[in-house]
Amino acid sequence: LGGSISRAIQQMSNATIIDEKVLNECLNEITRALLQSDVQFKLVRDMQTNIKKIVNLDDLAAGHNKRKIIQQAIFNELCKMLDPGKPSFTPKKGKTSVVMFVGLQGSGKTTTCTKYAYYHQKKGWKPALVCADTFRAGAFDQLKQNATKAKIPFYGSYMESDPVKIAVEGVERFKKENCDLIIVDTSGRHKQEAALFEEMRQVSEATKPDLVIFVMDSSIGQAAFDQAQAFKQSVAVGAVIVTKMDGHAKGGGALSAVAATKSPVIFIGTGEHMDEFEVFDVKPFVSRLLGMGDWSGFMDKIHEVVPMDQQPELLQKLSEGNFTLRIMYEQFQNILKMGPIGQVFSMLPGFSAELMPKGREKESQAKIKRYMTMMDSMTNEELDSSNPKLMNESRIMRIARGSGRQVREVMEMLEEYKRLAKIWGKMKGLKIPKKGEMSAL
Ligand code: GDP
Ligand code: MG
């Protein structure tokens, strides 16, 4: 999506006269991209209509900054589509709130419940988890394991098969224990079924949640709108959490879920671990959708996950823009480990998405390891140089021999290096924004 939208804007900005025809062409291009990104057709059409209303062709003709005007209009329109107009119910620390999680099986409810509890616990709340999933074998064990790891009190049963009973018992117990955030995990089925919705309705009626959170897997594609709507029609969904955003999923589903539930996205899940969970922020999300890169999110992430004492070095390297083979080697190590720094780099546009395309992770990992073997046969001089001319034929032959690889493969690795160096180079002289500063447009 990012690629084709920025291409569309690029093409438009190259045109000397921006008249209606050019605007239409640009909008058509963006329409195609949004549809490919699983945004529902109706939403795309609405956006198109709105942009046409907002962008005043006379203003454009008068020679104002055309590109800026249209870009800003598209950016604003997408932000608006993600804003249902009213915030969701927000639990207050110290006051008891019951929050119920709903969604299809496998969407990430149980994982997200724990993340949500852990997120609040870190901020001094007293959360608790209730497992009202009696449908799936092992559901209670999973919640128990997660909760124990995070030291969060939990309630559930191996024997009881009535989810309503467990939910009520759990909520009552934790109310007595003065927990301020009582989280009820429910069961999902493989697809939308009447029985699931009936059970959900009953749990909701019995526990009277202050907030119902709909959990949606970001990779479900065009199904997002109908699925979200089906849940909204059965229980009072008040907020959305989109999971598995680490899988390079397209962002379109989030737009559909907001439209269908008239509720905001409040968090996104970015991995299987407890702390891979972020507050959803509309503007960086949209700038990422538009392929403008998410520098503010990127910087926040650095501040958040990279240990303080490693930050200056990393930021220094970034702002120098000097991408040596050694840095590439280090980043490969980080990506393979998927450690905190690896996570940061997987957010860089073009860095990890292309290196590790979705669904080909195994293959990509093998490739990265192969590259690293070849780099093990390089000299320090070669690793630390940023002079592309240094890598002459005889050096390439030596590296191939030393690593037992083909010359062609070494060349391929060096091509990859050039591509990454280009991306890295864009950060040269980067003004390092303060935490939370926006830099999208
Ligand atoms: P539930 O059936 O809705 O309760 O879903 P689970 O919480 O059991 O999650 C299903 C699978 O998705 C598990 O393997 C989770 O580890 C995984 N999962 C959940 N959230 C995320 C996420 O944000 N990113 C990734 N990569 N995996 C996730
Ligand atoms: Mg579950």
The ligand 1 atom nearest the CA atom of 243: 23
300, pLDDT greater than 70: no
Structure tokens at 211: 């907030």
pLDDT value for 435: 41
- Distance in angstroms (rounded) separating the CA atoms of residues 414 and 430: 25
Q: Which of 185, 193, 190 is nearest to 212 (CA)?
A: 185
Q: Tell me the one-letter amino acid at 352.
A: S
**Nearest ligand to the C-alpha atom of residue 214:** 1
Q: Which of 111, 244, 246 to mutate to test the pocket of ligand 1 (most atoms within 8 A of CB)?
A: 111
- CA 278 – ligand 1 centroid, Å: 15
The closest residue, in CA terms, to atom 5 on ligand 1 is 108
439, pLDDT greater than 60: no
Regarding the beta carbon of 188 and ligand 1, being less than 6 Å apart is answered yes
- 195-203: average pLDDT: 92
Sheet of strand 154-155: strand arrangement: 154-155, 127-132, 181-186, 97-102, 211-217, 237-243, 265-269, 277-279
Regarding the beta carbon of 361 and ligand 1, being less than 6 Å apart is answered no
Q: Which of 267, 258, 239 is nearest to 80 (CA)?
A: 258
**Nearest ligand to the C-alpha atom of residue 105:** 1
Q: Which of 108, 109, 128 is nearest to 118 (CA)?
A: 128
- 282-311: average pLDDT: 65
Is this prediction's pTM over 0.90?
no
Looking at domain 307-425, its CATH superfamily turns out to be Signal recognition particle, SRP54 subunit, M-domain (1.10.260.30)
- 49-57: average pLDDT: 81
Regarding the beta carbon of 111 and ligand 1, being less than 6 Å apart is answered yes
Q: Is 315 or 65 the better-scoring residue by pLDDT?
A: 315
pLDDT value for 249: 65
* 350-389 residue pLDDT tens: 565 566 665 667 787 888 899 999 999 999 999 998 777 8
Regarding the beta carbon of 269 and ligand 1, being less than 6 Å apart is answered yes
Boundaries of every domain in the chain: 2-81, 97-289, 307-425
Regarding the beta carbon of 115 and ligand 1, being less than 6 Å apart is answered no
Regarding the beta carbon of 272 and ligand 1, being less than 6 Å apart is answered yes
* Inter-residue contact 424 to 323 (CB < 8 Å): yes
Q: Is 166 or 29 the better-scoring residue by pLDDT?
A: 166
* High-pLDDT (> 90) share of the chain, %: 44
DSSP letters spanning 389-433: GG--HHHHHHHHHHHT--HHHHHHHHHHHHHHHHHHHTTTT---P
pLDDT value for 208: 97
- 252-269: average pLDDT: 93
Domain 2-81 matching CATH 3.40.50.1820: the answer reads no
Report helix angle 393-403 to 361-376, nearest 10. Answer: 110
188, pLDDT greater than 80: yes
| Burial of 381 per CB tally in 10 Å (0-12, 13-18, 19+) | exposed
The ligand 1 atom nearest the CA atom of 277: 23
Highest mean pLDDT among 51-65, 74-88, 165-179: 165-179
pLDDT value for 293: 47
Residue 378 CB neighbours (<10 A): 21
Look at the domain 97-289 and name its fold.
Answer: Rossmann fold (3.40.50)
- CA 181 – ligand 1 centroid, Å: 21
The ligand 1 atom nearest the CA atom of 142: 8
The rounded mean pLDDT for the chain is 82
pLDDT value for 68: 62
